[in-house]
Amino acid sequence: MAETKQPVEAKVAQADQGPEQLPWLEELPPRQIVAELDRYIVGQDAAKKAVAIAIRNRWRRSQAPDEIRDEILPNNIIMIGPTGVGKTEIARRLARLAGAPFVKVEASKFTEVGYVGRDVESMVRDLVDAAINMVRGEREDDVYPQAEARAEERLLDLLLPPLAAPAPPVPAAPAEAGSRPLFVVSSRGEVTEHSDEDPTLKDRRERTREKLRALLRDGKLEEKDVEVEITQENFPPMDMLQQPDGGQGPDINVMDWLKEILPKRKKRRMVHVHDARRILIDEELRKLVDMDDVVSEALDRVENHGIIFIDELDKIAGERGPNVGPDVSREGVQRDLLPIVEGSTVQTRYGLVRTDHVLFIAAGAFHVSKPSDLIPELQGRFPIRVELTRLVEEDLVRIMTEPENALPKQYAALCAADGAQLSFTADGIKEVARIAALLNERLENIGARRLHTVLTTLLEDTLFDLPNVPEKVIVFDAARVKARLEKIVEDEDLRRYIL
């Protein structure tokens, strides 16, 4: 185990420069996955631990023998907790850190199949689209230098068009082997013979081309106008071709089919060099990236590494009883979720996708309903349940100080754009946390989101007057925070509407 763990940890040690340099989240040991989440989310260790184990199990399954690999199914998770405690933030960070296809959906947006609205299978189609974009982006990054070089050559051709060689007439006598005479007719009707390449002219053009290349790379021709030819796709929008049942139908990509059979129109546009470069690079990337290979790898990633986060699951949980009829946006959605979560084959415009090994993570506040209000079959599809704890004043202090994207750091970056330096003292942060916790007790408890309302109200006048005030060093201590917010906190009517 030590030999396999060391390379992964070595990768992680090099990954502190940014999330884009991280290895796949599945390759990290569970403790390291939790450590990555700890950089942005305070507390909720039980939820982080459950998610880390589920993610790591994806990699463990890939290392299992072939005869048992397909039998190992993911253990889907339900995260239960009030709003503002970190459920959605865990999903957001998973999306940023995971090198696997990820999509977040709202359960309340779906309806039962056959009714107006989105059916639950659309979440799988969204996951496939996300995987296509992910794989295509990776392939484009690999060939981007080559596409950039090709686009540069095409730009130079636009800036210095090649001379069109005149068509030679039929010679009176056959030419000797190895010679290629060229006849040019002048405006006076005189026919003269030239060699097919003039060395002097060729050298002069090459020198001019290299000078233009140097100017182009130095950015001195960015505002120069060039004429580019753009291929317009002449086919109707995809929305007009969607079937009423959400796109289920024959295994055919209608969009690609139309691209093949309908004629392509060319249009010439006069644009600046920087716009032309972008257009030409996009065209070259489309030529260099094999979309058939992209689709094949994307579908494999979806089936073996895909993650779907279903938020607001409690919104589709309702009372069940002999006198309560089915609800197409609640119990109907639950029944439609059953085969998707259990494992079925979904038709997408890129082909059939199996959901047997897609990991489903659901979340909900469940302050009105309970997980037991879900239909029993759906409860069985989510065997792992973790409860997230409510946030208290100490947690709010940690949220404002520990994460790399803490709110005081975000506001300090905003003020730095105006040349100002914003900072909070330790007692100032504690006072903000105290007021936020007090408001959560007196009003509706919205968790860490209350910090947004408190800090926005606290810094409103500062941000408004910041460009015009001479004082560019702003420090908020406990006394200054209390003086700014005391009137609003004590005024019940004002507090209800502002905070």
Res 185: pLDDT: 45
Domains of the chain: 2-134+298-387 (3.40.50.300), 393-498 (1.10.8.60)
Q: Please, which residues have CB within 8 angstroms of residue 91's CB and are 6 or more apart in sequence? A: 104, 309, 311, 361, 363
Three-class secondary structure of residue 385 per DSSP: strand
Summarised one tens digit per residue, pLDDT across range 45-95 is: 999 999 999 988 988 988 989 889 888 888 899 999 888 888 888 888 887
All residue ranges of the chain with pLDDT < 50 are 1-22, 175, 177-196, 235-252, 321-323, 325
| pTM of the entire predicted model | 0.75
Distances (CA, A) of 403 to 182, 281, 400, 409: 74, 38, 7, 9
Res 308: pLDDT: 92
Distances (CA, A) of 422 to 256, 413, 434, 492: 53, 8, 20, 30
**For residues 382 and 359, what is the distance between their CA atoms, to the nearest angstrom?**
10
Q: Please, which residues have CB within 8 angstroms of residue 436's CB and are 6 or more apart in sequence? A: 393, 396, 450, 451, 454
Amino acid found at 25: L
Neighbours of 88 (CB within 10 A): 16
Maximum CA extent, the chain: 106
Res 426: pLDDT: 93
Q: Are 415 and 475 in contact (CB under 8 A)?
A: no
Place of tokens 């106008």: 225
Place of tokens 């959400």: 246
